[in-house]
Amino acid sequence: MGFTKDDFNDIVETAYELTDAKEIYYFFDEIQIIDGWEHFARRMADQKKHVYITGSNAKMLSSEMEKVLGGRYLSQMIMPFSFCETLVYKKIDHDEMAMFTTSKSAKIRRGCQEYVLSGGFPEAQLLKNKREYIKSVYEKVLLGDIIEREKVNNKMALRLMIKKIAETVMHEISFNTLAGNVKATGIKTSTDAMIDYSSYAENAYLLFRNKNYVSKFAEKESTPRFYFYDNGILSLFLIDKQSTLLENAVAVYLKRRFGEEVYYFKSSQTGIDIDFYLPEEKCAIQVAGSIDSAEDRETKSLISFAEKTEGKHRLIIVTNEEERTVNKDDVTIEVIPAFKFFLEKI
């Protein structure tokens, strides 16, 4: 309260009063709250000072930072905890030896189940009522980083769009379809509004999209598959949809590892439909809670992909618990339980 951009100078002076060190490191959290902060940050950058600034507001997006700081910064997106980080935070051993210890392995499996259900927000990890905290985070992102920042007037259309996207995770959906679903509730909207709103949600790091690797440009852009950056927020919209949460958790893991180089692979000509395709890694991944009763169905697209695609690819099915190797038609498919998949390096 009462802090202005001129008061930043007091922090620098105080730092020099406290130490004779040649290198001083400055850490500012939520710096965007102070009007004119960028002038101070640019001056510090020009003086080659070590400055770290963090913020949870959409003003801290790379596109915004480029406007105010030019080329004087390096940005790093910080996502919620990965599964590995949740285990570290909870002090659960998860090295190779722990995997072969019954009691430790059980803790890892249970930790994975909790992670898939509740996500990776650090503050929620040790709370008994995680849902209420996660709901408050969602409302902050929705109301603060989207509605207020983008001046969204049709708030109900935005809420309904996000709800519909949550219900269609695992499936591609067009913006025309989204608009039609929202209109069916009696709320006026348009396809253009759905395009804008989804872009706002992506800019606020609520959603991200995967595109079809084999689609033409227009279809790539207009019919994506959306995923949520955190399973905890997705779970707010779902009732007993373990398969959806598992696929979203896999999507988040791959997004963290490979950024924009993650696609889905769906071809109407060949009938191939694969959840995730990593062209640079030559890897195709399906997600299924279990394949015990549907092995042929779950392996069909991977086998067809292997037969019709040039080069050798690693083929994986991520499951809740099952682990084995499937050999069919000279094709090898690894069946990996989620807790191991999230801890391995592809």
In degrees, rounded to 5, the angle at the alpha carbon of residue 57 between the alpha carbons of residues 136 and 137 is 10
Beta-strand relationship, 324-328 and 283-287: unpaired
User: So what's the pLDDT on residue 121?
Assistant: 96
Q: How confident is the model at residue 221 (pLDDT cuts 50, 70, 90)?
A: confident
| Domain extent listing, the chain | 5-69, 252-346
End-to-end CA distance of the chain: 48
The pLDDT of 52-68, averaged and rounded, is 71
H-helix or E-strand spanning residue 52: strand 50-54
Q: How confident is the model at residue 145 (pLDDT cuts 50, 70, 90)?
A: confident
Residue 243: is its pLDDT beyond 80?
Answer: yes
Q: pLDDT tens digits, residue range 252-296?
A: 999 999 999 999 999 988 999 999 999 999 999 999 999 987 888
Q: pLDDT tens digits, residue range 322-337?
A: 999 999 989 999 999 9
Dihedral of CA atoms 285, 287, 290, 293 in degrees, nearest 10, equals: -70
Q: How confident is the model at residue 77 (pLDDT cuts 50, 70, 90)?
A: confident
Residues in CB range of 178: below 8 A, 6 or more apart: 161, 164, 165, 191, 194, 198
Q: How confident is the model at residue 57 (pLDDT cuts 50, 70, 90)?
A: low
* Mean of all residue pLDDT scores within the chain: 91
CB 335 within 8 A of CB 291: yes
